[in-house]
Amino acid sequence: MKIAHILSNKSPFVATIKAGASVKHLVDELKKYGIGALIVSDDGRRIDGIVSERDIVRKLSEFVGEVSLLKVEDIMTRDVFTCSADDDVEKLMEVMTEHKFRHVPVVEDDGSLFGVVSIGDLVKYRIEELHDERAALINYITN
């Protein structure tokens, strides 16, 4: 199965935030959308980084000073692992598990942002896949 299948079941909206935004604004956006990470992008297409709840917690443990002075660029992950819509779901699950990624931006051939897949999206896909396999086996046995 390809990542495109997972994205086809999601809203095409991708929440982004500018690198110069305050961490307060970041936290407000995470709460507003009920998500765990935002793509850092000044134009909504180019990926400058990714910032997650984990980034916030890790940086706050190191930061001595006024938290309100922190900007997204101070805590974001700059080296972002991405995938394409044509990538295999199973392979991406392996990479996300191995590197403990919870969110992976999906990019087009030119590197522009296309979507985001989360570990939750992949778990949901796997549960649906197991449910379908179970139903097929029951149907096979009972018919």
Give the whole-angstrom CA distance, residue 73 versus residue 59. Answer: 11
- Can you tell me which residue has the tokens 């992008």? 41
Domains of the chain plus CATH, in order, are 3-142 (3.10.580.10)
Give the model's pLDDT for residue 65: 73
Give the model's pLDDT for residue 59: 86
Average confidence (pLDDT) per 10 residues, the chain, 143 residues: 92 95 95 97 96 90 76 94 96 95 96 95 91 89 87
pTM: 0.83
Give the model's pLDDT for residue 58: 86
